[in-house]
Amino acid sequence: MQVCDQLAASGVTPVLSPSDLDDISGRLTDPSIIGLLGVDVQTTDLELVIVLGGDGTILRAAEIVRGCPVPLLGVNLGHVGFLAESEREDLRASVERVLGGDYLVEERMTLDVVVTHRSEVVYEGWALNEATVEKASRERMIEVVIEVDARPLSSFGCDGVVMATPTGSTAYAFSAGGPIVWPSLDALLFVPLSPHALFSRALVIGPDSVLAVEMLERTPGAGVLWCDGRRGFDLPPGSRIESRKSAVPVRLARLTHGPFSDRLVRKFALPVEGWRGPVERHE
């Protein structure tokens, strides 16, 4: 409500989705100031999306405006909120800066994901963080072959495989033991989940490559594909899942201009006490 009132007082029309409006309509000072997304205002008409919540809410917002160049500004109301730009206590100041146009826009790589089964395309999707092939049942692992640029790398049984972007390197891929990749670097990640294999390292691959996971038919284990943990698709044995860099990025509004290392330290509360910094040289 605070954000809606602040925007309206500045002569800007706040816009909400029907479901979000239903959630807060009883607490709005004046519901008539709100534009309804998809009815009064289309996504192509939006100037900026302010997202109140954690990373999951930001992923939902990115899904709603997919294909539109509108940037997203995340205000963290959750825990880590790695994609968020500011915290709850900075909300009013953040909106003031947005109203003044005092922000930068950063583009983040996304993935195009295609599933084929018996040479037929059965699913097409996308992901900002990761596309994950996982076992569908707790009792039975899946057997897969992982592939880069139409060449096989390894075959193993596992709980799943994560194909991630640099943005997703601090999400599911990080939890699975993958490396943290700076978002300024164009790269793709392969991270196996609990693999039964001697060679099971996470891989960092060039942005123009095509990653693929083939589910072997020699075991009856079924799988499921999750894009950003939000959009799922059931995978029968024999499915082939390809991921590649998408031509459509997600645009994030940034209020701070510090290096990614500062964000890493702040979000993960990393210990840096005792750091003295580079030694100054006196000529």
Tens-place pLDDT, residues 154-182:
999 999 999 999 999 999 999 999 999 99
Place of tokens 């196996």: 192
Q: How confident is the model at residue 283 (pLDDT cuts 50, 70, 90)?
A: low
| Nearest Cα residue to 110 out of 39, 53, 179, 183 | 183
The 10s digit of each residue's pLDDT in 93-147 is: 999 999 999 999 999 999 999 999 999 999 999 999 999 999 998 878 999 999 9
Active-site pick, 55, 149, 228, 262: 55
The top-scoring range by mean pLDDT among 19-23, 246-250, 260-264 is 246-250
- Side chain identity, residue 216: L
Q: Which whole number is the average pLDDT over 88-94?
A: 90
Contact status, residue 90 vs residue 101, Cβ threshold 8 Å: no
How many other C-beta atoms are found inside a 10 Å radius of the C-beta of residue 249?
A: 16
Query: What is the Cα–Cα distance from 198 to 238, expressed in whole angstroms?
Result: 24
Nearest to 171 by CA among 147, 151, 189: 189
Q: Between residues 24 and 275, which one has the greater pLDDT?
A: 275
First-residue to last-residue Cα distance in the chain? 58
**Is the separation of the CB atoms in 14 and 2 below 8 Å?**
no
Q: Residues 63-75: what's their mean pLDDT?
A: 94
pLDDT at 217 over 90: no
Confidence of residue 77 (pLDDT cuts 50, 70, 90): confident
| Highest-confidence segment of 22-26, 35-39, 243-247 | 243-247
What is the greatest pairwise CA distance in the chain?
Answer: 71
As a 3-state breakdown, the chain gives helix, strand, coil percent values, each rounded to 5, of 20, 35, 40
Q: Mean pLDDT of all residues in the chain?
A: 92
State whether residue 57 is helix, strand or coil. helix
CA distance 174 to 202: 10
* Coil vs helix vs strand at 31: helix
Tokens of 228: 């950003």
Task: Give this prediction's pTM.
Answer: 0.91
pLDDT band of 282, cuts 50, 70, 90:
low
Q: Determine the residue type at 29.
A: T
Answer yes or no: 55 catalytic. yes
Q: Which of 220, 200, 211, 199 is nearest to 143 (CA)?
A: 220
pLDDT of residue 79: 76
Q: Please give the backbone phi and psi of residue 6, each rounded to the nearest 5 degrees, phi first.
A: -65, -40
* Average pLDDT score over residue span 212-226: 90
Per-residue pLDDT, 198: 83
Average pLDDT over every residue of 73-89: 86
